[in-house]
Amino acid sequence: METITEKQDNKLKYFIEDYWDIFLGIISIVLAFYFHKMGQGGTATLFAAIGIGSLSLTVSEVAEILSERLQEPYGSFVLTLSAVIVEIILLYIILLQAVANPEVINTVKGGIISAIIVDMNVLLGLAVFLGGLKFVEQEHNKETSSAYTTILFVTAAALLVPGVLSLGKHTSNIIEEASIAIAVLLMVFYIVILVFQTRTHTHFFKSTARSRIFRIKRKMPEAQEEADDDYIFEKFNMFGLIISIFVFIAIIALGAEVFAHDGIQLAKSYGISAGLSGLIIAIVAVAPEIVTAIKAAKNDEIQRVINIAMGASTVSILLTVPILMGLAYFSGIRFTLDFNPLEIGALILTVILAWKTTDEGHTNYFEGISHLMFFIAFTIIAIYY
């Protein structure tokens, strides 16, 4: 029998485990504003990044509860959409700095491509590597990766168009018109894919093999599972979960304002390249998805990892690009899609690598470390490019 003191200690332990991210996130953003007012940009940027990352993890956890109730493929769709909303807000607030500093646009472009690079190499690589170490080999629906890599390859090719026109010495007006046309095309493509994923071909995005961990848990007595029944968000209905997600995203937006203002000045003062700045922004935005994917891989839910990594990458291009262009237009900022050769090249090579490592329907740790090696090489180039 547990004593009263032991029960209290356990309650405190579970309370800290469940809500540390909320408290850390809010406190960090408050401190970020404080140091921002004190003129300490470096410290303010650090606390803003911690706050954004912590609360993004909360958003991810709440979205995961919502996704479990919706089931696949809707579940992963909700997870990726919630993460991409955070990414769009972060990039847009940074984009607003372009009114005073036009060079920021290159950082935003780097952030868009880097988010996909991080999703497809760090998230997928780490999850597959750690899952492979634990289970040797994990199975997923190969139709999922086939569909997503096809989508990503087509969208990467579409993003080549403004860049090719830019190299051809076309006028800025032509490049802008081409960028708008590509943005509209991507949005239309997204609508088609949404119907494909959630209506006509849902079986392409569902697991073909049930998790071994899941089968073991099914045999365990309910008392031994120790589910997080006391986690407050578990008690919310769907509407309450959605409202919670948007409340946390609103707080993240406040932290993003400090991160954008002080972070851009800090990068400029230290001579940090636009590519590396974009990579840092992407890591901050994608960090919660990485945590979710690693948990899934350790539970032998590699299908969810594939859905999150490739789904988030797909939504990052098809939604982030058109929405950012629209927001830039209404804010009086000229934003075009003439990405540099490094960005497009890395994107296409990432898609090819993901296709090769997932096309057989099973993964292992070697394929995971291959993605991590590619990411390290990209980071080295981004530092000096």
Residue 109 burial by CB count (10 A; 0-12/13-18/19+): exposed, middle or buried?
buried
Residues 70 and 236: their CA atoms lie apart, in Å, by: 14
pLDDT in tens, 323-334: 999 999 899 898
pLDDT (0 to 100) of residue 126: 93
292 close to 60: Cβ distance less than 8 angstroms = yes
pLDDT in tens, 259-273: 988 988 888 888 888
Question: Is the pLDDT confidence value at 167 over 60?
Answer: yes
Residue 42 burial by CB count (10 A; 0-12/13-18/19+): exposed, middle or buried?
middle
> Where in the chain does DSSP place strands (E)?
138-139, 362-363
For CA atoms 310, 263, 160, 356, the dihedral sign is negative
pLDDT in tens, 177-210: 999 999 999 999 988 888 887 777 776 666 655 5
The residues, ordered by sequence, that sit 6+ positions from 188 with a Cβ below 8 Å of its Cβ are none
- The tokens of 279 are what? 């990579």
Q: Does the pTM of the predicted model rise above 0.85?
A: no
Question: What does the domain layout of the chain look like in residue ranges?
Answer: 4-384
H-helix segments, 96-171: 104-117, 124-135, 142-167
Q: What is the CATH number of domain 4-384?
A: 1.20.1420.30
Q: What is the 3-state secondary structure (H, E, C) of 171-196?
A: CHHHHHHHHHHHHHHHHHHHHHHHHH
